[in-house]
Amino acid sequence: MSVFVSKLKVAILGFGTVGSSVARILCDLAPEGIELTHIYNRNIDRKRVDWVPSSVQWTEDFDTVLNSDVSILLELVGGLDPAGSWVRRALEAGKSVVTANKKLIAFHGIELEKLARSRNAHLRYGAAVAGGIPVIPGLQQGLAGDQVTRIEGILNGTCNFILSKMEEGAEFAEVLKEAQGHGYAEADPTEDVDGFDARAKLVILSRLALRADIDPNEVPCRSIREVSAIDFDYARELDCTIRQIARAELRGGDVLASVGPMLVPRASPLAWSRGTENTVLVGGHYGGDVVFSGHGAGGHPTAVAVVSDVIGIAHGSRAIDLPSKKTAIGGEFLLRHSIRFVVRDQPGIIAEIALALAEQRINIHAISQKPGYGKDSLPFVVTVEPCAASALHRALTRIGNLTCLIEKPFDLQILEPEERV
């Protein structure tokens, strides 16, 4: 016998890649206790499909949805505005909201959760991080009993696709174009390749796992645009690959956090992700390391997380409230770096580099130069011992004045256990 007295009526806001996938799952699976009644989108006529039941009302007027008897709004438009306004108005009206909007949750999640509680409504965002991988439910429930101290993850499927292809020998520009052709990357890929998408997700995970409310704008981001195919050649010499890594760690009363390309040892689970996969490693004080991995991008995986949140609400489950506190971004990771130089060969280059590094108390660990390149454009790599990124930046600023340089020096941190000093 069904436990549902009546069905919860659901509206989809945004009928793009994720919204249409959510509708497909709701129509195909027809989860018990849930009924899709409204679909909102701009220029709605171009979005209509014949596989949606005729009982569903299509509209391009948000107020039509808000003023209906819909119980749950699925916000799948993204961005801060107008999506943020819609979510607030829905919660104020006592309607529950399920969203995949990582930017909105990163910047305004705490405020919106308070609003939801005050109206006895639900705010669920399991799809906001890592698509269909249950990272957020895992943190809220499976790891709530641990003291998480560290998060490291590949949180952006677009960057992982690009870097995976570059590992095979392709260059950034051609792979970006391919990613855009597949629909993995937007026409303007800034949010993905410059790290802002992964940063928003890292902020959400830090709030849930580390119980630290950090300002997204304080998390330093580095772009993957400067990564070249040759960097993967040198990475192999270190038994590493290159991935965009988002990481945060509790250190004293502060949080260390960053997003950007890093050299990742092949023995790490983070090196195993290919294509659009996401991987998140969570380090707990009591439970040790836990790895979440799977398809983090695409309409269907993300839709699975959205529908799972809807089913959870329909079954009366409530998200665990994990209180966080405002925490500053402070300090720097002390890690080895690999620095790629491209120069016109001449005597004294290594001596000048060594002097600039020594002035910042940075020691050279190794120098590697692959054969087969002409003296007029000679690439080589200098690996340095653990240091702060700010100190290395000062050294590279001085080195950048050398007339032999053809390209700006490019450094990558090496993801490995830190040398504590």
Q: What is the residue-wise DSSP string for 238-304? A: TTEEEEEEEEEEEETTEEEEEEEEEEEETTSGGGS--TTEEEEEEEETTTEEEEEEEE-SSHHHHHH
- Where b means 16+ CB within 10 Å and e means fewer, 357-391 reads beebebeeeeeeeeeeeeeeebbbbbbbbbbbbeb
Contacts of 382 (CB under 8 A, 6+ apart): 338, 339, 341, 353, 357, 364, 366, 367
d(CA 47, CA 49): 6
d(CA 249, CA 238): 25
CA-based torsion, 74, 80, 84, 85: positive or negative: negative
Please check the confidence at residue 26 and state whether its pLDDT lies above 80: yes
Question: Mean of the pLDDT values across residues 47-55?
Answer: 96
Q: How much is the pLDDT for 320?
A: 77
d(CA 260, CA 362): 22
Contact present, 353 and 396 (Cβ < 8 Å)? no
- Where b means 16+ CB within 10 Å and e means fewer, 39-50 reads bbbeeeeebeee
Please check the confidence at residue 356 and state whether its pLDDT lies above 60: yes
d(CA 51, CA 253): 54
Q: How much is the pLDDT for 317?
A: 81
Question: Mean of the pLDDT values across residues 190-211?
Answer: 96
Q: How much is the pLDDT for 416?
A: 86
Q: How many CA atoms lie within 13 A of 378 on its CB side?
A: 15
Contact present, 140 and 320 (Cβ < 8 Å)? yes
Q: Indicate the length of the chain as a whole number.
A: 421
Q: State the pTM of this model.
A: 0.93
| Nearest one of 95, 45, 103, 112 to 78, comparing CA atoms | 103
Q: How much is the pLDDT for 366?
A: 96
Active-site residue set:
201
d(CA 64, CA 304): 26
Which domains can be identified in the chain, with CATH numbers? 8-124 (3.40.50.720), 135-294+321-326 (3.30.360.10), 335-414 (3.30.70.260)
208-266 confidence digits (pLDDT tens): 999 999 999 999 999 999 999 999 999 999 999 999 999 999 988 899 999 999 999 99
82-134 confidence digits (pLDDT tens): 999 999 999 999 999 999 999 999 999 999 999 999 999 999 999 999 988 99
Confidence of residue 2 (pLDDT cuts 50, 70, 90): very low
Contact present, 289 and 282 (Cβ < 8 Å)? yes
DSSP 214: -
d(CA 388, CA 131): 33
Q: How much is the pLDDT for 418?
A: 62
Q: How much is the pLDDT for 421?
A: 40
As separate numbers, helices (DSSP H) first and strands (DSSP E) second, the chain gives 13, 17
CA dihedral 99→102→103→109, nearest 10 degrees, is 70
Contacts of 408 (CB under 8 A, 6+ apart): 400
Q: How many CB atoms lie within 10 A of CB 117?
A: 14
Residue 279, strand partner residues:
154, 293
| Nearest one of 277, 282, 245 to 263, comparing CA atoms | 245
Name the residue with tokens 């002097």.
355
